[in-house]
Every structure is written in structure tokens, then in C-alpha cells.
Structure 1
Amino acid sequence: YAITASGAVSADYTISYVPGNLTITAAPLTITADNKTKAYGAALPALTASYTGFVNGDTQASLTTAPTLTTAATATSSVAGSPYTITASGAVSTDYTINYVPGNLTINTLAVTVTADAKTKTYGDADPALTYQITSGALAPSDSFTGTLTRATGESVNTYVITQGTLTLNNNYLLTYVPANLTIGKRAVTVTADAQTKAYGTADPALTYQITSGNLVASDSFTGSLTRAPGESVNTYAITQGTVALNSNYVLNYTGANLTITKRVLTITANNQNKVYGSANPSFTASYSGFSGGDNPSILTSQPVISTTASTGSGVNTYPITVSGAAVANYDVVYVPGTLTVSKAVLTITADNKTRSYGLNNPPFTLAYNGFVNGDDMNSLSIQPAATSTATTTTAPGNYPITVNGAASANYSFNYVNGNLTIIAVNGTNVSNLTISSGILSPAFTPANHNYTTSVDNGSDNIRFTLTFDPTATVKIHGLTAPNGSSSAGVPLNAGNNTITIVVTAQDGVTTNTYTVTVYRGEPATAITATNILTPNGDGKNDTWMIGDIQLYPKNSVTVYDRAGRKVYFKQGYTNDWDGTLKGEPLVQGTYYYTVDLGPGLPKFRGFITLLRSN
């Protein structure tokens, strides 16, 4: 700048002015970044600077360009990185030489106060969530609490401190905790007694109850029992709480009910009775079921009346026995009718005994009755009985039942007593014919002749008889029963005479008719011999030539020869009748030769015979 001089006054001097120059150099200016502080999470404060060196009344506004203040810190920079440098730069002024001095940004921990919320719960319930509120300060964006609150232990009714537990914030905060309480209140439970009933005289039912509001916790249980007002008669009795209780953690409310004693059922049953048709009614009785304890029919204020519609004359059937009219306190009376069964009377029907002779028709059968009642007789039967016998005209003598049956009646059962039919035997023993299996009867059979003879050869070792006799009689031949009209069993024969007795016994078992048959059985064919002498002189001895049993061999042939071999006699079917003649003329005395042939298949024999004549 020009420096000019002027205005000098001096008498002495003529003043001349020569201008000079004033040089102004830039003044030093120190710009110092002001130190700053902020709480964690808060916005950065305004960065300011302090100026040292302004002159002439200059201020920050005197700067051509104000300085720029910066720091690396942000709103979320942690306390741990504090302090952060605040730098100033960029100021422009022609009048100043600028020197910058940095400042510091200090981030302090953020004070946060949390206050626990007071909580309550009912005994037995789960704990509510333990919550809290920030009552001072605030969290930086995206920051959060960790951990949870806790409380003092215990589940009974009481007040329990809610403590900070593990609740915390990071190192950028100063956390202050204000506690509260969890209060556990009593649990309300209402029990309601169950209404009960019982019949008079029975034991009390269990007095029970239901939880009708609330519930019990875990293993908690009631103690004690309900009681009821005393009394056993029919009535209503209050059921009271008695000693039922819960522990001190509960408020127990009780709602009562009643035990109703109802009338007991007393069943009076008319006893079933029986009687026979026509008899008087029996005494009626009853049975009792349902009396309690020592009660018995004597406590009835009115005894029951038992009756029936049946009378003495009532027919076979069933009739109700009714019972009614009983009265008794504490009981409801139920009546059960009985039954009077009128059974059939027993009517005995007896067949009268009868007698007849064999061969006659049965006589009419008659009956006798015993047991009719109420003036009944046989006409009261719906079906009349019938008497019968199995005997017929040809039934053998003896005793035969006369059976009676077939009667019917609604009011009678029947006892049948058989009668007896006696058939008297007859005395017939007549034999109308008699034949034999071998030989010929002599004489021919006639019923009047009782003795007969016959002869058979030795080959017949038995003989059979066929008789036709009175059918009412029986026959035994030689002790064995013989049939009528057919062959008997064989009667064994010995050689020689056999006397066989035939006994005919009448039906009466007393009358008999006996026949005798003498059967001659010849010797064996090998034992037959002829006499060796013939003396036909009429003295009855050896008058004819005799060959033993020759008549038993009707197919025999006999030949006689003289000493010259001439045939002097021949006969088939010889019958011991040769008298020593030839063609009616006497043969001369002497010895003759003979042959005997007994028949086909039978032995032959020969020999000599001497013919003698009287002088």
C-alpha cells in the first residue's frame, strides 16, 4: 500500500512529500478442530473449529473459503474405537497463513435403563413371559438385547423378584436394570357334589364330587371326604363339604347336592299252589323279597290279601292267585301274582274179572269206577273207556288180562286196573289118525284100539309117528312132544321088540289117552339064519321052514335044491310058508340045499335043511 505524507506545516520548511510503501504480509491463522463428544449411536455432532490469529476484527466469515471439518466416525461407530480424529482443511484466505490443529471426537457409552414389567399368574399356571421396557435411552438401529430375565424360584402363592438374569447389551451401552415382581395368586377351584340316591335300607353310595370350575395342579389332590346330614328314612339329605380341602395355594369353593333316600321295593309274591280237581282251595301264602335288615312282615301296617277266582268246582286249569292291599312305610310294594294249578283228579277204572271156556267167544266186559267228584259219573267223561283182551276163541286156556284204556276227560287222569279173563281148559284127547314111517301097523289104526304092533328091518334104527289129534290136546311120544298132523322126531329102535308109548293129554292137563305100539326091529342082515330042520306033521313045530326076520326083506328070493341039484322050490318074497312040498306034493324025506338072497344090495347065504316026515 502507498504511504503518503501531507499536511505538515512549518514556517520554516517547504514541505515536499515523497510517498512510501506499506507491505502487509499474511497473518498466521490457526484453525483448531474443536474436540467433540457424542453418545454411542447418536448422530455425529456438528463439527466446529476454533480460530486463533484473526486480526482486525476478522472472523470465520472473513475467510474466502471456510474450512471443512471431517471425521472417520459415524453414528454407529463403537465406543471401543474412540476417540476419532476430527480434521480441518480447505480454508482459503489471502490475509492469513492457515495452520490446522486436529481435534478429537469422543464416543461415550449409551446409558439405557430397562424396567421389568410386573407380572402375575395363578398358582399352577405356567410363568408368563418376563418382559421389560426401555424406560431411559434407546438402542441404536440393529442393536438388540441378549439374554432373558429370571425370577426367584418358587411356585407357591407368594411374590417373587424378577431379576436381570442374563439380559445384557454390548459394550457400547451402559445398562441399568430396574426390577419388578412376579406375584403368584391362589387358584380358584369349585367342586360340586354329585347328587346321589339310594334305596331305603341300603348302604350309602360313595359321596362323590366333580370339579366344575378350575382344575388341580400336577400331583395336588383333595383331602378329606364329603359328609351328609344324618337320617335313614325316606327323605332328602344335604351333602355337605365335610373335610374336603385343598392346600393353601387354592381357593376352594363348594357347591352342595342332596342324597335322596327312595323307597325300597318290597316284592310280595303269591306262592304258587296246587290242588286236585274237586278239592277245596288250599291256604294261600306269600313270599316277601326286599326287606331291609331286620324288617319282616310284622312291620306292615296292613297285611296283604291273597285270593283267587277258583273254587272247589273249578275245572282243571290254571287260575291267578292275586295279592294286594299291603301297606308299609319306606317301601314301594310290588305284587307278583301266583298260580293255582288245578290238576286232574285220579279216576280208577277197573276191568271186572271174567271167566269162559276155551273155544267160546269172550263175554261182555264191564268196568267199575272209583274217584268221581263233584257229582260226576261216567257220563261226565268226554270219551268212554274201552275194555279189551287179546284172547280169542282159539287162545289157550289160562289167565289173560282184560285191559282198559282210551278214556278222556278234561278233569280226570286215569288209573287203569286190568281185570282177568280166565279161559277154562277142555278135556278132549281124541286121535283121528296114526301112521308110522316104517312098517305097517297091525291092526290098522282105529281111535278105539290102543295097542298096535309093527316090524321093521334092521336098517331102520328109528321110527317116526304122524298123529292127527284134538288141537286142544298135547301129545308126547316116548316122552317127547309131537306135533299135530306132521311127523314126530325119530324114536330110536333097538334090535328086537321096542314098546313105544303115545300119551295124549287133554287141555285140562288131567285127562289122558294112551296108545302103545310095539315095534320089532329085525337082526342085521348078516345075522339072519334059517332053521335046518323041517317036520311038516301038523304039530305046530317046524311045520314050515323058518328063516329069521325074512318078512322084513320083502324083495328076497329063496331057492331049494334036492341032492341031484334039481330046483324043488323057488319063491320071491318068501314069508316062511314052505311046507316041504313041490307042486302040492310032499317031497321025500332027506337033506336039501338052499340059497337065500335078501334083496338087491343085501347079503346072500346058503345052507342045508333036513326034511323029516313021521312014519
Structure 2
Amino acid sequence: DAFTGSLNRTSGENFGSYAINKNTLALNSNYILNYSSANFILNKKQLTITADNKTKAYNTPNPILTASYSGFAGIENQSVLQTPVLLTTTATLTSLPGTYSISANGATASNYNINFVQGTLTIGTNNGQLITFAALADKLSNDVPFNLTASSSVGLIISYTSSDPTIARIINGNQVEILKAGTVTITATQSGNANYAAATPVSQLLRILDNQIPVITIESDLGVNIRKGDEAVLTAVGASTYVWSNANGIIGAQTTNKLTVRPSENTTYTVTGANAFGRTSTQTITITVKEDLSVIVTSPATNIISPNGDGVNDYFVVKNIDLYPNNTIVIYDRSGKTLYKVKSYKNTWDGSVNGLLLEEGTYYYIIDFGDGKTTSKKGFITIVKQ
């Protein structure tokens, strides 16, 4: 004999107890079938939720936290969770490098027993440190120490090195001391710390221009001993620009390398010269003036005046007489008779007396300089009518 038909159970796939029914189960007519019911138990399935391990650099935002799931039935996934998993970590933006736990909890699902496994957030040193170091301006060999101003993007202290400390060396940590002209490379570095990795070094070229003090010399076209009233040209060399200080007897501009002077006494002339970079030095020259006025007619070789109005030898000229404003000049003939006498002579006598031109011939002069110390001068002059 054999059973026919089958049992069935109350439909449902969720966690719970389902009745097992007799359904069509039967025996032949020789048997009376008594059926005792039972229950079909669906237990919760084991689900493991694991917080995924994460990494980040120091002083950067935390990464998005995620989880992995193991144990879903069939094609089910985390969408069957009534409450999603909550992922948290104790690490913050500024947490120091190290390892920090990632906690997973809070998830619920009616058909699953959930087991939570922690993950780890590992914070490493930050590789994003950058150095900003601007190009260096040219310097002069006599410039004072100057500051270097490179900076780290994370605020750490910069160190500097020079490729040739005999030209320019680093002092006081962030200053350059210039020792001589030349070219060096200044390199800015930052070695990092527990939180930040070393930055990539940045180098800049420093050119130091030679700025020697100008060596000036002065020469006079008449030498350093001249007669009173002479005009000398002083020439300075050795600089790019020149400025002469005020002094006795200067004639004309004082801002070129040449200076025209007509000193009335011993005088020291001073020039200040600057090179192309503005560095200056001074030099002096002393001109000694001799009390030695020369009496010169327009044609000094013959002591002749020819007052005919042609502009040549028309006047009796005493060169430099203006330097003796108290002078007196007397003109007289061979017999000693005074023909012309004037005080403060201005080089204007044309050989006439009372409006009449003297006869051709030789006449004589006496010059009294009127300063009480210069010896009077005597001489002759010839009048020629042409």
C-alpha cells in the first residue's frame, strides 16, 4: 500500500511559522487516515555587514564611508533593509596620521540576523605641500642683506641653501648676505613633518652685479698752477654722471664731466661722480692762482692797436683787468705828459683823447692794480692808423 497526494504548507517566505496542511495526502479504502498537523519554521538568515577600510591624507576631508554585505538570500540586496546601515568614524578633517575605527550599526531587516564588522580609516601624511618662491630681482655687490620670502602652502617653515656661499650665503635662516659679484642658485626646501610629506624644492637664480665705487680722476688743461684770470677746463673721468660743487670762479654748467673755471684765488674744486647703479665717490683738485696778470693788446705779438672800426685791434685790452676793480690806468707820451687816465678801466680806450684820435706813434702806460699788493705794470703801445 502507498500514500497518494501530497502535503502543503501555508504560503510565505518571510521569517515565521507556517502550518503544514494534509492537503491531498490519502491511503486506499482499507485505511482510515488520521492526520496530525505540524508547523514549518523559517529562521532568519545570517547577514554580515562589514565597514569597508578607507584611507586619506592628513588635513583632507574624510572619504565617503561604504560597507560590504555578505549573506543576502538569492538576488536580495541592501534594499531589503528596513533601516540602512549607519557608518561613522572618530576621525575628523584635522585628525593626526594614524588608524581610526569605522563603525557599522543600526541596520535592520526582518528576515536577517545582522552581524556588524568594524573597518579602519588610515590617515597618512599629506603629499600636497607646495612651495611658492618668486623670481629674485638682480642685486648689486654692495647691497645689504635681504629677506627671502618663499612660503609653504601649509604654513611650515622654509629652509634655504645657496649654490655658492662664497658669492652669496644664507644668514639668519631666511636672509641672503652678498659677498661679491656673480650668479648663484637659491633653493627653497621644506622637509615635512609627521603630518605633511616633504615639498618639492623650488630654485631661483640670483644675479649679483658688480658695483665697484667709481675711481675718479681730474685733470686741468692748464695744469694746477695758473695765472689769475686764466680760464681752465677741468675734466673728470671714471664715472657715468658728474656734479661739481659750488666754488670760486665756476663758469657754466656743473653737471657734466667738464667744468670751466676762472678762479681769482687758490681754489679746491670737488666733483661727485656716480656709476651706472648710482654708487658715488668724490674727487678734488686744487688750482693755485698766481698774481700774474698779463697785459695783452688784441695783437699781443706787436702791442699795436689800429682803431679803424674793423673789429681787429681796435682797443687797448688788458686781459683780466676786471679782477682788479680798483685799478687805475694812465696813458702818456714820450715827454711824460699824461694823455688819458681812468679808474676801473673796462678795456674801452681806442687811442683817442677828448674825442680826437692820437697821432700814430708809440705811447706808454702804467697800470696801478689798486689792491695794495700787486706790483704796477708798465709798458708801451703803438697806435697805427690804417
Alpha-carbon separation, structure 2, partners of 1:106 and 1:4: 57
Instruction: Give the structure 1 partner of residue 326 of structure 2.
Output: none
> Are the aligned partners of 2:50 and 2:68 in contact in 1 as well (CA < 8 Å)?
yes
Work out the percentage of aligned pairs sharing the same amino acid.
29
Letter in 1 for 2:51: A
Alpha-carbon separation, structure 1, partners of 2:292 and 2:34: 159
Letter in 2 for 1:55: A
> Are the aligned partners of 2:58 and 2:126 in contact in 1 as well (CA < 8 Å)?
yes
User: Shift in Å at residue 113 of structure 1?
Assistant: 2.5
Instruction: Give the structure 1 partner of residue 362 of structure 2.
Output: none
> Are the aligned partners of 1:29 and 1:99 in contact in 2 as well (CA < 8 Å)?
yes
- Residues 171-182 of structure 1: matches in 2 within 5 Å? 171-182=194-205
Instruction: Give the structure 2 partner of residue 260 of structure 1.
Output: 260
Alpha-carbon separation, structure 2, partners of 1:125 and 1:54: 78
User: Shift in Å at residue 150 of structure 1?
Assistant: 4.5
Instruction: Give the structure 2 partner of residue 239 of structure 1.
Output: 235
Instruction: Give the structure 2 partner of residue 292 of structure 1.
Output: 292
Alpha-carbon separation, structure 2, partners of 1:92 and 1:8: 40
Instruction: Give the structure 2 partner of residue 222 of structure 1.
Output: 214
> Are the aligned partners of 2:221 and 2:232 in contact in 1 as well (CA < 8 Å)?
no
User: Shift in Å at residue 104 of structure 1?
Assistant: 0.8
Instruction: Give the structure 1 partner of residue 60 of structure 2.
Output: 42
Letter in 1 for 2:110: T
Alpha-carbon separation, structure 2, partners of 1:13 and 1:236: 162
Alpha-carbon separation, structure 2, partners of 1:324 and 1:51: 125
Alpha-carbon separation, structure 2, partners of 1:64 and 1:324: 128
Letter in 1 for 2:215: T
SS in 2 for 1:173: coil
Instruction: Give the structure 1 partner of residue 188 of structure 2.
Output: 164
Letter in 1 for 2:109: S
User: Shift in Å at residue 325 of structure 1?
Assistant: 7.2
Instruction: Give the structure 2 partner of residue 612 of structure 1.
Output: none
User: Shift in Å at residue 68 of structure 1?
Assistant: 2.2
Alpha-carbon separation, structure 2, partners of 1:65 and 1:13: 57
Alpha-carbon separation, structure 2, partners of 1:222 and 1:13: 141
> In structure 2, do the counterparts of structure 1 residues 3 and 229 end up closer, same or farther at CA, with 3 Å as the change threshold?
farther
TM-score by length of 2: 0.51
Instruction: Give the structure 2 partner of residue 548 of structure 1.
Output: none
Alpha-carbon separation, structure 1, partners of 2:344 and 2:84: 130
User: Shift in Å at residue 236 of structure 1?
Assistant: 6.0
Is 1:88 equivalent to 2:112 in the alignment? no
SS in 2 for 1:107: strand
> Are the aligned partners of 2:55 and 2:124 in contact in 1 as well (CA < 8 Å)?
yes
Instruction: Give the structure 2 partner of residue 51 of structure 1.
Output: 69
Instruction: Give the structure 2 partner of residue 122 of structure 1.
Output: 139
Alpha-carbon separation, structure 2, partners of 1:264 and 1:182: 57
Alpha-carbon separation, structure 1, partners of 2:143 and 2:115: 72
Q: Gapped runs of 5+ residues in structure 2?
A: 1-17, 169-177, 243-254, 266-289, 304-315, 319-328, 333-340, 348-366, 373-386
Alpha-carbon separation, structure 1, partners of 2:191 and 2:70: 46
Alpha-carbon separation, structure 2, partners of 1:73 and 1:13: 78
> Are the aligned partners of 1:228 and 1:238 in contact in 2 as well (CA < 8 Å)?
yes
> In structure 2, do the counterparts of structure 1 residues 12 and 38 end up closer, same or farther at CA, with 3 Å as the change threshold?
farther
> In structure 2, do the counterparts of structure 1 residues 40 and 324 end up closer, same or farther at CA, with 3 Å as the change threshold?
closer
Instruction: Give the structure 2 partner of residue 336 of structure 1.
Output: 370
Instruction: Give the structure 1 partner of residue 118 of structure 2.
Output: 102
User: Shift in Å at residue 120 of structure 1?
Assistant: 1.4
Letter in 1 for 2:107: A
- Residues 543-562 of structure 1: matches in 2 within 5 Å? none
> In structure 2, do the counterparts of structure 1 residues 259 and 64 end up closer, same or farther at CA, with 3 Å as the change threshold?
closer
- Residues 41-440 of structure 1: matches in 2 within 5 Å? 41-79=59-97, 82-111=98-127, 112-123=129-140, 124-132=142-150, 139=154, 144-152=155-163, 153=165, 154=168, 155=178, 156-164=180-188, 167-186=190-209, 221-229=213-221, 234-235=230-231, 237=233, 239-241=235-237, 244=238, 252-253=240-241, 256-262=256-262, 291-292=291-292, 301=303, 304-305=329-330, 335-336=369-370
> Are the aligned partners of 2:218 and 2:234 in contact in 1 as well (CA < 8 Å)?
no
Asked which structure has the greater RCO (Cα within 8 Å, sep 6+), the reply is 2
After superposition, give the CA deviation of every residue in 1:443-462 in whole Å (9 maximum; x if it has no partner). xxxxxxxxxxxxxxxxxxxx
> In structure 2, do the counterparts of structure 1 residues 230 and 337 end up closer, same or farther at CA, with 3 Å as the change threshold?
closer
- Residues 461-610 of structure 1: matches in 2 within 5 Å? none
SS in 1 for 2:42: coil
SS in 2 for 1:176: coil
> In structure 2, do the counterparts of structure 1 residues 27 and 99 end up closer, same or farther at CA, with 3 Å as the change threshold?
same
Radius of gyration: which is bigger? 1
After superposition, give the CA deviation of every residue in 1:28-68 in whole Å (9 maximum; x if it has no partner). 11111110111111122222211111113222221222232
Alpha-carbon separation, structure 2, partners of 1:187 and 1:13: 130
> In structure 2, do the counterparts of structure 1 residues 12 and 226 end up closer, same or farther at CA, with 3 Å as the change threshold?
farther
Alpha-carbon separation, structure 2, partners of 1:72 and 1:326: 108
> Are the aligned partners of 1:37 and 1:108 in contact in 2 as well (CA < 8 Å)?
yes
SS in 1 for 2:197: strand
Alpha-carbon separation, structure 2, partners of 1:335 and 1:23: 150
Alpha-carbon separation, structure 1, partners of 2:145 and 2:371: 71
User: Shift in Å at residue 10 of structure 1?
Assistant: 11
> In structure 2, do the counterparts of structure 1 residues 306 and 187 end up closer, same or farther at CA, with 3 Å as the change threshold?
same
Q: Gapped runs of 5+ residues in structure 1?
A: 189-219, 246-251, 266-289, 308-320, 328-332, 339-615
Letter in 2 for 1:145: L
User: Shift in Å at residue 96 of structure 1?
Assistant: 1.3
> Are the aligned partners of 1:35 and 1:105 in contact in 2 as well (CA < 8 Å)?
yes
Alpha-carbon separation, structure 2, partners of 1:334 and 1:27: 142
TM-score by length of 1: 0.34
> Are the aligned partners of 1:34 and 1:104 in contact in 2 as well (CA < 8 Å)?
yes
> Are the aligned partners of 2:188 and 2:203 in contact in 1 as well (CA < 8 Å)?
no
> In structure 2, do the counterparts of structure 1 residues 225 and 54 end up closer, same or farther at CA, with 3 Å as the change threshold?
same
> Are the aligned partners of 1:117 and 1:130 in contact in 2 as well (CA < 8 Å)?
no
After superposition, give the CA deviation of every residue in 1:225-250 in whole Å (9 maximum; x if it has no partner). 13355687945636241xx26xxxxx
After superposition, give the CA deviation of every residue in 1:282-302 in whole Å (9 maximum; x if it has no partner). xxxxxxxx7539x68997946
Is 1:27 equivalent to 2:45 in the alignment? yes
